[in-house]
A and B are shown apart, each in its own frame.
Chain A
Amino acid sequence: MVRDNRRRMRSKKKCRLCGSKTTYIDYKNLSLLREYVTEKGKIIPKRITGNCAKHQRMVKEAIQRARFMALLPYTKE
């Protein structure tokens, strides 16, 4: 069983923000937020970044705040 599974197994992504025990994501921390945004300025889904739901929500909140204050773009080109 284990061997069969191993063939198909991908390395499981872990929430990096859980690793660092983040309790608040500052919307002014643009270098961090840029990691969770595509080149076009869209928010990267958690299935790709590996964030847990709680931290994805924090990231979303921070990005939306930064966008409103024109710190991050809504779209690029």
Chain B
Amino acid sequence: MIRIYETMFIVSPRLDEESRNSMAEKVRDYIVERVSGTIEKFDRWGIRKLAYRVTKGFSEGDYTVIQFKADSESVDILEKFYGITPEVFRWQTFRREDLEKAEKKALLKKGTSEEELPEGQTEVKAVESAVVEVSEAVVEKTTETVATEE
């Protein structure tokens, strides 16, 4: 199941700028190669003050935000990678369901307007459910009419 994810991580400010940049690129390449995802957005914030002092004693950090598409089962690999990288001291990865929904809607709209089925399954499912609903409604109606006749 391909899903949209967003990940943010903070790199230690003790490294110099070059190695911080290379660290961000390393994560990006890791997502492409190991997680086999596709990068949609790559945003470097650079050094930024933290809202509070972290237990490691840092009061600033280097932020990077990456939005990517990946398989839901392989995202764990990225989390493990963060865990064994001491330069990254905080990270967060989560699903962007709102973007997924928007994408799905756009696909459905496209399908109905062009009357084509670009990526079969979702369209077919929607049609099927609609048909089922209609048939149910018909059954209800018939039962009602029977009841009234009796």
Could you tell me which A residues sit within 8 Å of B by CB distance? 23-24, 28, 65, 67-74
Contact = CB atoms under 8 A, between A and B. Distances in A.
Q: Is the interface of A mostly helix, strand, loop or mixed?
A: loop
A22 B53 CA distance: 32
A71 to B, nearest CB: 6
B119 interface: no
Nearest to B52: A73
Interface residues of B, number: 17
Contact of A70 (B52, B94, B96, B99): B52
B8 to A, nearest CB: 6
Interface of B: 8, 10, 50-52, 54, 61, 63, 65, 90, 92, 94, 96, 98-99, 101-102
Highest count of chain A CB atoms <10 Å: which of B54, B98, B99, B102: B98
A68 B90 contact: yes
Highest count of chain B CB atoms <10 Å: which of A24, A67, A72, A74: A24
